[in-house]
Amino acid sequence: MSTTPEMASKESTLPTTPDGAAHETVYDRFTPGQKRWIVFVVSLASVLPMFVSATFVPSIPRIAKDFDSTHAAISLSISLSIFAAAVGTLVWAAYSSFYGRRLMYLCGMPLLCIGSCGVAISTSLWTLLFWRFIQTFGCSGGISLGAGVIGDIYKLEERGTGIGIFFGATLLGFAVAPFIGGAASLLISAFMKADSGRETGAAAQYWSWRNLHYSLAVWSLLEMLLIYFSLPETSHPGTMGIEKVMSRRRFHITWINPLSSLWLLRSPNLFATTLASSLVLVTDSVLLVPIAYTIGVRYGITNEAIIGACFLPNGVGNFVGAPVAGRLSDIVVRKWRVRREGVWYPEDRLRATWIGGLCIVPISIAASGLLTTYVGGPTGLSLNLLCLFMNGMGVLFVTSPIASYNVDVAHSRSAEITAAYTASRSLILSAGAALVIPSIERIGVAWTYIIVAILALVGQG
């Protein structure tokens, strides 16, 4: 397997000439301490969209009651959020190649802040949907821009570790967010039940989900200040489009087609790795989206905070697996480069996906389906939580090396390929999330999970 000529890096044999020294120098602009700080800042920014999406789900019953609407109608905002995230990540990534990473962060955070305040003051379904779109669009560049930044500051042999840490922190946030949202919802519910006054009860209901979005607005404002004062521009000198504009006005606005990023997937290899990553990530969605209807119903868990806590083992697995997988992929790259006497093939990094894709992911989700169906009590619950941890770790053993591979082969457009990868993946994940509950109702948990395990194996193949 090999990349297309336009995608493949010019460094198939990494140079040792003066050009090679220049190649090394561009990654030495920042000290190791500065690089760690940059990874921390962009990881924090990438956690925000996870909180924006994941904390909303536990609030749906409260919002539906507040607007005198149905759960299904309020759930439209989830589909809208997926669409806004897909569009937003393409827009921010495309413009980051022209204007730089830092400016795109600084443009997105105010939209997130305004959108969060808009969601908090919404009084109807339509205003909620509008501001929810703005909110999600503003924060949707976190992952694609962050991957671009990692590609900017880390050279080939270190990039997998950097991206692994970045994705680990991001997905830990995704797992923690439902627990926080569920705990907040539970506390407000308890407060409302304890309250006997009608006016105070209404105030508590108002507080229950609106203040959560005010908190996200404050977080985005603080993140914007952190980026403004401490995040340097990481794009390689001379690579930004704005640097090549001859007569630059103070505000130079250029139209860039955000869909151009998707054209990168015409490479058979990049399309194949995106599909493989999506099929593996579907296992995460299938385990987590219906968790209240699978683990919750099977083991009699109705407490929202405890349901949210069931997400934590998967997040811890992500957090543990991401840096390990990233480091492993770097080791594989170095090993095969030495074996070929300095010749580098980007596909070497994909060897690191075998452990997760062939073993950990399919076994963990199939085992979870069988346990949920046939093993009850504390034993079944404990083993299910172990499966969630293993699945979280296994998924990152696949997706982290693939993300690094994409940056390797499309390095000059690293944010754009990550955006195309993320947007395409979102469409597949949304379909999986929509079909999982009907499938469980029709053929049961065990068979649904076994089918998804087979799809993951197909993706690895």
Which domain CATH number covers 35? 1.20.1250.20
Residue-wise pLDDT tens digits, 104-129: 999 999 999 999 999 889 888 888 88
- 178-185 average pLDDT score: 59
Say if 181 falls within a structural domain.
Answer: yes
Q: What is residue 12's DSSP assignment?
A: S
Other CB atoms within a 10 A radius of the CB of residue 359 amount to 15
Say if 6 falls within a structural domain.
Answer: no
Asked if 120 and 210 count as a contact pair (C-beta separation under 8 A), the reply is yes
pLDDT-derived band of residue 364, with 50, 70 and 90 as boundaries? very high
Q: Please give the Cα distance from 249 to 251 (Å, whole number).
A: 5
Say if 298 falls within a structural domain.
Answer: yes
Say if 16 falls within a structural domain.
Answer: no
Say if 248 falls within a structural domain.
Answer: no
The dihedrals phi and psi of 13, each to the nearest 5 degrees, come to -115, 110
Q: What is residue 358's DSSP assignment?
A: I
What residue numbers bound the domain in which 455 lies? 27-237+260-460
Query: Does residue 8 surpass a pLDDT of 50?
Result: no
Other CB atoms within a 10 A radius of the CB of residue 197 amount to 9
> At 393, which helix (H) or strand (E)?
helix 377-409
**Domains identified in the chain, total number:** 1
Query: Does residue 56 surpass a pLDDT of 80?
Result: no
Using only C-alpha atoms, the chain has a radius of gyration, in whole angstroms, of 22
Helix axes 101-121, 142-153, angle to 10 degrees: 160
Query: Does residue 21 surpass a pLDDT of 80?
Result: no
Residue-level pLDDT at 368? 92
- pTM > 0.85: yes or no: no
Say if 8 falls within a structural domain.
Answer: no
Higher pLDDT, 374 or 191: 374
420: helix, strand or coil: helix
The first and second tokens of residue 174, run together, are 């995704």
pLDDT-derived band of residue 204, with 50, 70 and 90 as boundaries? very low
- 212-235 average pLDDT score: 90
Say if 19 falls within a structural domain.
Answer: no
Per DSSP, helices labelled H in 100-155 are 101-121, 125-139, 142-153
The dihedrals phi and psi of 247, each to the nearest 5 degrees, come to -105, 95
Q: Please give the Cα distance from 413 to 400 (Å, whole number).
A: 18
Burial 66-92 (b: 16+ CB within 10 A, else e): bbebeeeebeebbebbbbbbbbbbbbb
Count of all residues that appear for the chain in the document? 461
Residue-wise pLDDT tens digits, 242-275: 766 655 555 667 777 777 778 888 888 888 888 8
Say if 418 falls within a structural domain.
Answer: yes
